[in-house]
Each structure stands twice: as structure tokens, then as C-alpha cells.
Structure 1
Amino acid sequence: MKKHLCFYVFVFIVISCKKKESPLTFKNTIYNATTIETCNMGMCPELDIERLTALGDAKLADSINKAVERVLVSNLVINPDEIPKIKTLDEAIANFISSHRNYHDEFPETNAGYEFSSKSAISLNGSELLSIVFDTYSFWGGAHGYGSTTYLNIDKQTGKSLNTENLIDNEPAFLKLAEQKFRSQKGISENESINSTGYFFENDQFILPANIGFTENEMTLIYNPYEVASYAEGQIIIKIPLNEVTPFLKLSL
């Protein structure tokens, strides 16, 4: 009887431990010239990266961290063809430093240097949706730098990164709502061409931006420079109250 009791107690403890997951928490890790070892061995570009790292719930945290790393790598690597070959942030940083040094070897008279900064933060940590925002600035020796915002949306139940199709239900109806908000903000009447004031939506058809994010109160649509307008226009930011977009969302916030 005692043996059976001990067995049941053991099973109960094991099951309880398996069910109990550490809560999801986050920390920031800083990468700059003082923390990157390679920068002690020669010329280094201006680098300032705050990398958000998830801790706690092991499986979900691992999915989040891999997705965050993919965003940082894609933003940091200069040549898009090299992105599939570079798997980690450390590799991307090494590649960026190497590119910077090669640039100065080729143009030794230049005073300009490469720059890259990225700050990531939790925009929304909801019951089912995690939204992370990355604010990035890069300069690769051209006429000017480039500032952009990237959103990463993750299903907390599956750890899957979500695109617009995964997020939005009845996309045609939502597209109409978003276009109304865009036209209202930019002073473009319903009867006018969406490009009448200088935008360059392809085929004169309104489209959603590449980056859609969330806060506790609103959905944010961000068109980065060159996406639908000139560099001089800067970012175009459209904010829609959550109560208006909730009917179109596939996940609960």
C-alpha cells in the first residue's frame, strides 16, 4: 500500500512540474563597439543594437527569439542575397563590420562610415497575440540613411509568426476600412485617385503596408519610406482604434 501511495505521489509531482511553466519575461541585450569583440581588432562601424530576448516558457521563448533574430538579421545585412546564408545575429554583425572595412579600403578618402541602430520593444503582450516593434536606422554610405519600423506578430499559443493573412479575417472588407482611414488622414476624397496627391500605389489600388502592429488601444499601419511614397514623405502612420478592427481579427488580443 505504501509503495502504491509513493508511486501516485511521484506521478502527481511529475505531472504538476510538467504543467507548470515559468511565466514569459523579456530582457534586452546590448550590442555596440564596447561589447563586440571584433571591434577591438580594427575599424568598426557605429553599431547600437538592443536585442529583445524572451525568457521563461521554453518552447514559446525559443520561437520568439528565433523570430526576433530573423528580423534583426534581415535588417542588418546589406546584400539581400546574403540573408539566407546568414543564420545568426553574430554572423550578421560580423558581416556588417567586414562590409564596413571593405568600403573604407575601397574609398579611403571618405569620412562617412556605416551606421546601424535597432531598438526592439513589446508593443502588445495580449492573451493570444504578442506584438514586437523594431525601430531601425541604417546608413550604408549612400546619400542618406534609412529609418524604418518593423512589426513582428506572434501567436502565443503556437509560437508562429503571423503575416497579414494570418491576422486579418475578411481582408477585402478590412482593406476598405483601412483605405477610408488613409484617405481621411491624407485629405483624399473617395472620388479621387489614391495617387492623386503623389503616392505611388501600384495600379492605383490601395494596399496594406508590409508592417502592421498592435498596442492595447489601437492597430498601427506603417508604410516605411519608399513603400508607397518618396523618401521625403517619411513614414506614413495610420492608427485605427481596436474596437473598429476587432471584428476583423482572427486572434483575441
Structure 2
Amino acid sequence: MRYLKLFLFFTLFVLFSCEKEYTITFTENHLASKASENITINIPKAEGKASIVDPINTRIENHVIKSLQIGSSNSIQAKSIGASIDAFNNEFEAFKNDFPKTQQIWEAQIDGEVLYQSDQIISTSITAYTNTGGAHGILKISFLNFNSQNGSIISNSELFNDKEGVEKIAKPYYQNAIEDKNILSNPDEFTWPENIAYTEDGLVFLYNTYEIADYSEGVIEFKIPFDEVQPYLVFNNF
């Protein structure tokens, strides 16, 4: 009996230690421009073991910086979100100096959330809306998938062990989603999206505006239940 108690204690200790080592929690990080009320940013911030959460937070922050960049992403100089907010405001001030009679107001709204979290994978979504004086603002949704064990980014191709198998399952969902849409490519051929993520209800495939259709069609997405694609998923410990 004494040995059984010791075994149970050791087992619980190991389980608790492993859980504590890889536990990641998220809080909301709110940032706004001091010079303008037209920039608001709400993104998840990972907290826990530094070697895991630091690459996650860095990747999310860099994505926000890129979303606020005016001009080519190859010319990004800002090293922080605060600096990118200042750069955005400076560009707007330069725009007003060039066009003093304009009534155009620039704005940026960036919101992030955790879509799914397990001991294998974390899926996050970053929705960025920016308006810098065009005919309409630009809305872009991006999914960032992370390895829960080390914080590294997971590419779409790394989600599947059989991409062709997933495509066969996804194709009817895709065709149903694009029905009555003005698709730019052949509707009979499946087009892989730039963004795929885990959610509590299944695997979501998302196409941003202009990705497969005109702007007027908006964001196109569909979701496949996990039980249909589980055999083809690398991260399938639900």
C-alpha cells in the first residue's frame, strides 16, 4: 500500500510538472495612439515559459507592425508597435500637409483572438482594418498557428500528413462556399487559402478579399468538422 501511494504521488507530481512547464495563458494587450483616437489595437499576449511565449508574442507583434506599415513591407523600420503607431500618424500628417483641404481621416483597427488552444497547437486570428484615404478601407484576416511546445510558427503545409486527402474532403465545402460568387479562378478546381486555423468546431479555411473573388464578395470561408479530417491532421490530440 505504501508503494502504491508513492507511485501515485510520483505520477501526479510528473503530470503536474509537465502541465506547469507547457501551460500558456493569454491576456489582452490594448494599445492606442496618444496622438489620435483613430488607432486601436487589441491583441492576445502569451504568458508563461519565456522560451515558448516570446516567439509567439514577437510573431504577433511583427504582424501588427506589418499591418500598420504604409508602403512596401520591405521598408519597415519600426521595431515596436508603439513606433509603428507613431510612423502611421506621421504619414497621415504628411498626407494632410500635401492635401490641406482633405477631410479624409486615416484609421486603423486591429483585433486579435485565440481561436483554439491545446497542448499541441495554438491558433490565433488577427483582424486588421486600415483606411488610408482610398475608395474604401482594407480588411484582412490572418491566422497564425503556433506549436504549443516551443512557440514556433506552424505553416499550413505542416498541419497535414495527407494534403490530397484533405483536399478531397474540402472541395465540396469549398464549392458550396463559392456558390453564386464571382470567382476569379476556375470554380471546378479547389484553391487552397492563405489562412487555415483550428477552432473549437473544426478546421476553418478563409479567403480574404481579392484572394479568389472580387472585393464586393467579401471574405469567404468554410469550416470542416474535426471528425472528418482528423486522420489527416498532424496535430490531432483533441
Instruction: Decide: shared fold, TM above 0.5.
Output: yes
Q: How would you bin the TM-score normalised by the shorter chain?
A: 0.7 to 0.9
Residues 109-162 of structure 1 deviation map (CA, whole Å, 9 limit, x = unaligned): 111111110111110011200011112211011000122211110011121101
Report the CA distance between 1:85 and its aligned residue: 3.6
Task: Verify the 8 A CA contact 1:74 1:83 in the aligned structure 2.
Answer: no
Report the CA distance between 1:185 and its aligned residue: 3.3
The aligned residue for residue 25 of structure 1 is: 25
**Which 4+ residue blocks in structure 1 deviate beyond 3 angstroms?**
16-23, 81-87, 185-188, 202-205
The aligned residue for residue 76 of structure 1 is: 68
Report the CA distance between 1:179 and its aligned residue: 1.9
Task: Verify the 8 A CA contact 1:135 1:147 in the aligned structure 2.
Answer: yes
1:178 partner letter: A
Q: How does 1:111-130 map to 2 (within 5 A)?
A: 111-130=103-122
Q: Distance in 2 between matches of 1:23 and 1:113?
A: 42
Q: Distance in 2 between matches of 1:145 and 1:73?
A: 18
Q: Distance in 2 between matches of 1:145 and 1:128?
A: 36
Task: Verify the 8 A CA contact 2:177 2:220 in the aligned structure 1.
Answer: no
Query: Are 1:95 and 2:79 matched, yes or no?
Result: no
Report the CA distance between 1:83 and its aligned residue: 5.2
1:154 partner letter: F
Aligned sequence identity (%): 26
- Structure having the higher Rg: 1
User: Among 116, 133, 136, which residue is 2:125 paired with?
Assistant: 133
Unpaired segments ≥5 residues, structure 2 = 1-15
So what's the TM-score if we normalise by structure 1?
0.79
User: Among 204, 213, 219, which residue is 1:229 paired with?
Assistant: 213
Relative to structure 1, the CA distance from residue 202 to residue 138 in structure 2 (aligned partners, 3 Å threshold; closer, same or farther) is farther
Residues 161-199 of structure 1 deviation map (CA, whole Å, 9 limit, x = unaligned): 0111111222122223222211133348xxxxxxxx531
2:140 partner letter: S
The aligned residue for residue 143 of structure 1 is: 135
So what's the TM-score if we normalise by structure 2?
0.84
Relative to structure 1, the CA distance from residue 141 to residue 202 in structure 2 (aligned partners, 3 Å threshold; closer, same or farther) is farther
Q: Distance in 2 between matches of 1:67 and 1:231?
A: 28
Q: Distance in 2 between matches of 1:180 and 1:22?
A: 38
Q: Distance in 1 between matches of 2:230 and 2:79?
A: 36
What RMSD in Å do the two structures reach over aligned CA positions? 2.5
